[in-house]
Structure 1
Amino acid sequence: MTSHDLPGSVHSATVDVVAAVIRRGARVLLCQRPAHKRHGGLYEFPGGKCNDGETKDQAIARELLEELGVTVTHVGSVLHSIHDPGSPFVIHFTDVRIDGTPLTIEHSDLQWVTFNEALCLDLAPSDRRFIGDSLDRCAETD
């Protein structure tokens, strides 16, 4: 018997979320969430939840077409995954290449920034953590 079989135990499923790290030289694309949504006004990497039966690659392609009007040409490796305690979401920050110019279809603003510049923006908590962790890893390799 596992802990999931015990009476009164809590088993919460996780929800995969994809976040596209789109680069243009040393800059990455960050998108400002609309004011009426959760974390409204905060900047984030574009992406969203995986639908039932959808792979992470399919979710990234769908989300970027819906949110930015761009086509994904390459989905690379997952750079980092974050699962905050108490949250059902596991966010997979993934290297992505696109074709087309990103549009503000579902966001209030788009910014191409370096990771250091990004820290000056109001970032969604997990995105700030990813950027901070990435900068820490870069500093360790210098």
Structure 2
Amino acid sequence: MTGQIVVAGALISPAGLLVAQRVRPPELAGLWELPGGKVADGETDAQGLARELREELGIEVTVGARLGADVVLPNAMTLRAYLVTCTAGSPRAHDHRALRWVRARELDTLDWVPADRGWIPDLAGALR
């Protein structure tokens, strides 16, 4: 497969699903997303997601099963979501405006980044 892989982590705890509010770019600022980022050359999806969540949230995670379908983004990028389990640390917003725990019933009320919106049914199922 060619193109850039972007990974997102669905961290679910007794408090719900962790979502992050974007700071940038301007057109996405204030919108909510699953935290994550680009997989670097030589990394697996799991390695890239664990690194991104360490950088963005200050936590260590175990990456689990895929969640939902790939989302094709502009500029030859593919977005993938994975279930993750926090193994160390407490999430802090290092790279986001805010973090929030949400329940399944709140998923439809969030102002999501467009790319993550398609995962709402999968996220709702994972939260039940």
2-structure distance, mates of 1:70, 1:119: 27
Q: CA RMSD in A?
A: 2.1
The sequence identity of aligned pairs, in percent, is 37
Structure 1 unmatched runs, 5+: 1-11
Kindly state the Cα deviation for residue 129 of structure 1 after the two structures are TM-superposed: 1.0
Structure with the greater alpha carbon radius of gyration: 1
Specify the SS of the correspondent of 1:67: helix
1:97–1:55 Cα change, 3 Å: same
Superposed structure 1 runs of 4+ greater than 2 Å apart: 35-38, 81-87, 132-135
How many residues in Structure 1 have an aligned counterpart in Structure 2? 124
Of 93, 97, 106 in structure 1, the residue corresponding to residue 85 of structure 2 is 97
1:27–1:84 Cα change, 3 Å: same
Which structure 2 residues correspond to residues 55-94 of structure 1 after superposition, within 5 A?
55-72=44-61, 74-84=62-72, 86=74, 88-94=76-82
TM-score (norm 2): 0.85
Which residue is 2:16 aligned to?
A: 27
1-structure distance, mates of 2:65, 2:101: 21
Which stretch of the first structure deviates more once superposed, 124-133 or 47-56? Answer: 124-133
Q: Which has the higher strand share?
A: 2
Higher RCO structure (Cα 8 Å, ≥6 apart): 2
2-structure distance, mates of 1:14, 1:81: 17
Which residue is 2:114 aligned to?
A: 125
Q: Which amino acid aligns with 2:66?
A: V
- Contact 2:12–2:85 (8 Å) recurs in 1: yes
